[in-house]
Amino acid sequence: MTLTVRPVSGSIGAFVDGVDLGDLDDAAMVELRRAWLDHLVLFFRDQDLTPDQFSRFARRFGEPARYPFLPGIDGHPEIIEVLKQPHELVNFGGIWHSDSAYLDRPPMASMLLAREVPAVGGDTEFASGYAAYAALSEGLRAMLDQLEAVHSSARADVSKTREDRLADLGDTGGGPKLDFASVHPVVRTHPETDRRALYVNIAHTERFSGWTEEESRPLLEYLFAHQVREEFTCRFRWEVGSLAVWDNRCALHNPINDYQGQLRRMHRITLEGDVPI
């Protein structure tokens, strides 16, 4: 097996060719991990993986985590279905974010495998937290280095994802409402690369720790816009059998909701992470 890694932008993302993710040796996995750390998100085509194969590949990267708001598919609680049906108007997580930043230990990585995709639309954008941090002024970096931010799952009203999905499952009452909150550094040091990344996102970040929401809003809005500047991003078009693996510790993503009236069905696994430092 000969791997070929092709960067897709100057800041983030690379295609990997010449690989069957259902049949990888240890040397290939070492190469993939190195490429992933370099490019933050890797893209693969034509990966016709069964749920068992998908789960086995994920376990080569890390330990699968359970998503708190949706059950897994039959026989695989670690795999959730990311589904938008033709009649739905709101997609799953349709805003720039890093997965589950409201958890004390946010997921290290996410893997998304395309099962059914629209004829056009439904792309996903990715943005580099490394590039966003590096492009800030020295003075602003010095201030942000000292700050922590409060993240909350209750900010789902930004994208309406959580409420919509629970309603689709019929879970509109009768049980406890799940809310999660966390406090993490605004600038996160990656545990494997030792690089610094801006770690806030519009979907989950409420305010700076020790600040009010009103005080936090102007600077957060600046950072939310800054971190997704075009030069920090790449865009991926899905095909059936496409798979993306991204690093939540240093990358944001945004699934674009531009395919009304069409079906999009994906399988997702997130991998256990550590406490951001």
- DSSP conformation letters of the chain: ---EEEE-SSSS-EEEES--TTS--HHHHHHHHHHHHHHSEEEE------HHHHHHHHHHHS-EE--TTS--BTTBTT-EEEEE-TT--S-TT-SSB-TTTTSSS--SEEEEEEEE--SS---EEEEEHHHHHHTS-HHHHHHHTT-EEEEEGGGGGGTTHHHHHHHHTT-SSSSPPP--EEEEESEEEPTTT--EEE---TTTEEEETTS-HHHHHHHHHHHHHHTT-GGGEEEE---TT-EEEEETTTEEEEE----TTS-EEEEEEEE------
* Residue 276: inside a domain: no
* Residue 64: inside a domain: yes
Predicted pLDDT at 2: 81
Any idea which residues carry the catalytic annotation? 97, 99, 253, 268
- Both tokens assigned to 24: 């990888």
Predicted pLDDT at 165: 52
* Residue 181: inside a domain: yes
pLDDT by residue for the chain (277 residues), tens only, comes to: 688 999 999 999 999 999 999 999 999 999 999 999 999 999 999 999 999 999 999 999 999 999 988 899 999 999 999 999 999 999 999 999 999 999 999 999 999 999 999 999 999 999 999 999 999 999 999 999 999 999 999 885 545 444 445 554 544 444 455 789 999 999 999 999 999 999 999 999 999 999 999 999 999 999 999 999 999 999 999 999 999 999 999 999 999 999 999 999 999 999 999 999 9
CATH of the domain at 158: 3.60.130.10
Predicted pLDDT at 188: 98
Question: How far apart are alpha carbons 150 and 216 in whole angstroms?
Answer: 11
Question: How far apart are alpha carbons 64 and 51 in whole angstroms?
Answer: 13
* Residue 52: inside a domain: yes
Could you tell me the residue range of the domain that residue 248 belongs to?
4-271
Question: How far apart are alpha carbons 2 and 212 in whole angstroms?
Answer: 53
* Residue 161: inside a domain: yes
Residue for token pair 């359970």: 66
* Residue 86: inside a domain: yes
Domains: count for the chain: 1
Q: Is the distance from CB of 73 to CB of 51 less than 8 angstroms?
A: yes
* Residue 184: inside a domain: yes
Predicted pLDDT at 155: 81
Angle at 81 between CA 117 and CA 105, to 5 degrees: 125
* Residue 277: inside a domain: no
CB atoms within 10 A of CB 47: 18
pTM above 0.95, yes or no: no
